[in-house]
Amino acid sequence: MSTLATLIVKLTGDVSGLRSSLDDASSMVSRAGQSIGAVGGSMTAKVTLPLVGIGTAAVVMGNQFNSGMANVISLAPEAADQIAGMSSGVQDLAVEMGASTSDMTGGLYQVVSAFGLAGESLDLLETNAMAATAGLATTEEAIALTSAVTKGYGDTTAEAVQHAADLALKTVQMGQTKFPELAASIGAVTPLAAALGVTQEELFGTMATATGVTGNAAAVSTQFRGVLQSLMSPTDAMSGLLSEMGFASGEAMMQQLGLQGTIDTITAAATASGQPLQAYIGSIEGQTLAMALAGPQADTFGQKLAEMQNAAGTTQAAFDAQTQGINAPKTQGIILAVVGLAAALGPVLMVLGPIVSGIGAVGAVIGALASPIGIIIAAVGLLAAAWVTDFGGIRTMVTEFWNTHLKPIFDMLVQWLQTNIPIAIGVLAGFWENTLKPALETVWLFIQENIFPIFVTVVQCRRIFPLPSACWLGSGKTH
């Protein structure tokens, strides 16, 4: 009997204490709602709205892509349907290569302009785009290089373009030059080299050996022209040398001895005859290159010529080396998922804040009017039925907000990412580091400072009303 009396006393006498604790909890919930709303407002301003701007920019980028494809069509209006059918392939290449669609459409324009429209046009674009990515150049620069070489040598097939790209990347690896510099200068010497029978391996081997030794790529091209011109339009001394050795022309000498053998022979003849090298090679630039290749750089020249024979696959290997880092698909997916969550989080928190505050106010009213057990049951019931009953307009508000604000954002983001995912990665990575990460840290700090104390209050409630069903969240234990 005394036990029951004690229980009755606890049920009645301690109600004021419980109500006080619940009032404190309700106040905390109200403040939490305000804080959530504030965080949501901040994230909406700093994250969601900028992403809306990016979505708007997607429309502009889409227009630029269409304009770029229209430029390609202008080169072959009769094949408009065929070119338009390449659009998805061009977009896919932009994603694969980590390049902008503007770079890809500009590249396709150059491919059609340089090689003509053919069934392998996209293959040519892919090869050059890969070489550009591997060589830190634009696709147009890569096409300028491969077209100058392949057209100069009279073979513009996809295999020939790939071979030229491999040799160019090998040159960048072994020489002291950059892909764009090589692209800008190689065309100046290619026609003479092809006319005299200089192989492409010898052409690029010379560039790989001399760049950084006798000058940059442009200087070496000029020097190389000087050497070749001395064979195409020989001086009297050179003509005498050719005749003495039984060669009908400089081209015949080149075919028989090769580039390195020819240069060695000319410099040796000048030394043996006691005449200056200028008597054989009239260009001072040509003399500079010949003396380097036949002198201090002779062994290096031979080694790099041999390396050029093994250039196949260089473009693919260099491309893999450039793209196996932050452009990996898994990393892209993670970043995009985080950004999508953050874009939605701000507006959702703005909506959630007033709702949480409202629930806190309702809890306070019920706490004043009902028994302690009734408060717990009512609170659980309200929370469980809130969505079903559209309590406080929750369901209507969220649905309307999704259709009006969030869905258009995601639709624009999808369109933008489909055409410009590489650009998105850079922008989104910046958002993560400068905005999203600090914002999420703010949310976590808010949870620690505002949500956790609510649970502490509930646990403290047990000290006033130690019924397991009333205060102990699912444990069933008592002190």
Hey, which of 170-179, 318-327, 358-367, 428-437 has the most confident mean pLDDT? 170-179
* Position 72, amino acid: V
* Per-residue confidence (pLDDT) for residue 437, from 0 to 100: 73
Hey, which of 25-29, 97-101, 164-168 has the most confident mean pLDDT? 164-168
Is it the case that residue 138 has pLDDT exceeding 50?
yes
316 in a structural domain? no
State the Cα–Cα distance between residues 348 and 402, nearest whole angstrom.
Answer: 9
325 in a structural domain? no
Q: Tokens 């202008």 belong to which residue?
A: 74
Q: How confident is the model at residue 19 (pLDDT cuts 50, 70, 90)?
A: low
* Per-residue confidence (pLDDT) for residue 182, from 0 to 100: 97
Give the mean pLDDT of 283-309.
96
357 in a structural domain? yes
* Per-residue confidence (pLDDT) for residue 14, from 0 to 100: 47
Q: Could you tell me the two tokens for 224?
A: 């190389």
State the Cα–Cα distance between residues 194 and 153, nearest whole angstrom.
Answer: 6
Give the mean pLDDT of 351-379.
47
In terms of residue numbers, what domain contains 454? Answer: 9-61+330-471
* Per-residue confidence (pLDDT) for residue 263, from 0 to 100: 97
Q: Tokens 């040159």 belong to which residue?
A: 171
Q: What is the pLDDT of residues 38-74, one digit of tens each?
A: 555 555 555 455 545 545 455 555 667 888 899 999 9
Please tell me the total count of domains within the chain: 1
106 in a structural domain? no
* Per-residue confidence (pLDDT) for residue 146, from 0 to 100: 97
Q: Could you tell me the two tokens for 393?
A: 């307009």
Residue 211 has φ and ψ, to the nearest 5°, of -65, 135
Q: Tokens 């010379």 belong to which residue?
A: 206
Residue of 347, 340, 341 whose CA lies nearest to 402 = 347
* Averaged confidence pLDDT in the chain: 76
Is it the case that residue 1 has pLDDT exceeding 60?
no
What is the pTM assigned to this prediction? 0.59
Residue of 81, 78, 82 whose CA lies nearest to 120 = 82
CB neighbours of residue 383 within 10 Å:
12
Question: What contacts 181, CB < 8 A, 6 or more positions away?
Answer: 216, 217, 218
Is it the case that residue 174 has pLDDT exceeding 60?
yes
* Per-residue confidence (pLDDT) for residue 300, from 0 to 100: 96
State the Cα–Cα distance between residues 140 and 117, nearest whole angstrom.
Answer: 16
Residues listed for the chain? 479
373 in a structural domain? yes
369 in a structural domain? yes
* Position 37, amino acid: G
Residues β-bridged to residue 215: 211
Is it the case that residue 126 has pLDDT exceeding 90?
yes
State the Cα–Cα distance between residues 150 and 153, nearest whole angstrom.
Answer: 5
Q: How confident is the model at residue 330 (pLDDT cuts 50, 70, 90)?
A: very low
State the Cα–Cα distance between residues 313 and 315, nearest whole angstrom.
Answer: 6
* Position 287, amino acid: Q
Q: Tokens 């006319």 belong to which residue?
A: 195
* Per-residue confidence (pLDDT) for residue 159, from 0 to 100: 96
Is it the case that residue 223 has pLDDT exceeding 90?
yes
Is it the case that residue 478 has pLDDT exceeding 50?
no
Query: Following DSSP, what letter does each residue of 91-144 receive, concatenated?
Result: HHHHHHHT--HHHHHHHHHHHHHHH-S-TTHHHHHHHHHHHHHHTT--HHHHHH
* Per-residue confidence (pLDDT) for residue 10, from 0 to 100: 43
- The answer to whether the beta carbons of residues 115 and 125 sit under 8 Å apart is no
* Per-residue confidence (pLDDT) for residue 395, from 0 to 100: 61
Residue of 359, 15, 305 whose CA lies nearest to 174 = 305
* Per-residue confidence (pLDDT) for residue 13, from 0 to 100: 46
Q: What is the pLDDT of residues 379-434, one digit of tens each?
A: 445 544 554 555 556 667 667 777 776 677 777 766 656 656 655 565 566 666 66
Question: What contacts 286, CB < 8 A, 6 or more positions away?
Answer: 223, 224, 225, 226, 227, 228, 229, 230
State the Cα–Cα distance between residues 427 and 450, nearest whole angstrom.
Answer: 33
| DSSP code of residue 198 | -
Residue of 179, 154, 185 whose CA lies nearest to 165 = 179
Give the mean pLDDT of 348-352.
48
263 in a structural domain? no
433 in a structural domain? yes
Q: What is the pLDDT of residues 250-290, one digit of tens each?
A: 999 999 999 999 999 999 999 999 999 999 999 999 999 99
State the Cα–Cα distance between residues 271 and 257, nearest whole angstrom.
Answer: 19
- State whether residue 269 is helix, strand or coil: helix
Sign (positive or negative) of CA dihedral 19, 25, 26, 31: positive
**Among 54-68, 111-125, 163-177, 229-243, where is mean pLDDT lowest?**
54-68
| DSSP code of residue 279 | G
Query: Following DSSP, what letter does each residue of 364-432 receive, concatenated?
Result: HHHHHHS-HHHHHHHHHHHHHHTTTTTGGGHHHHHHHHIIIIIHHHHHHHHHHHHHHHHHHHHHHHHHI
- State whether residue 281 is helix, strand or coil: coil
* Per-residue confidence (pLDDT) for residue 95, from 0 to 100: 81
Percent of the chain whose predicted confidence (pLDDT) is above 70:
58
* Per-residue confidence (pLDDT) for residue 278, from 0 to 100: 95
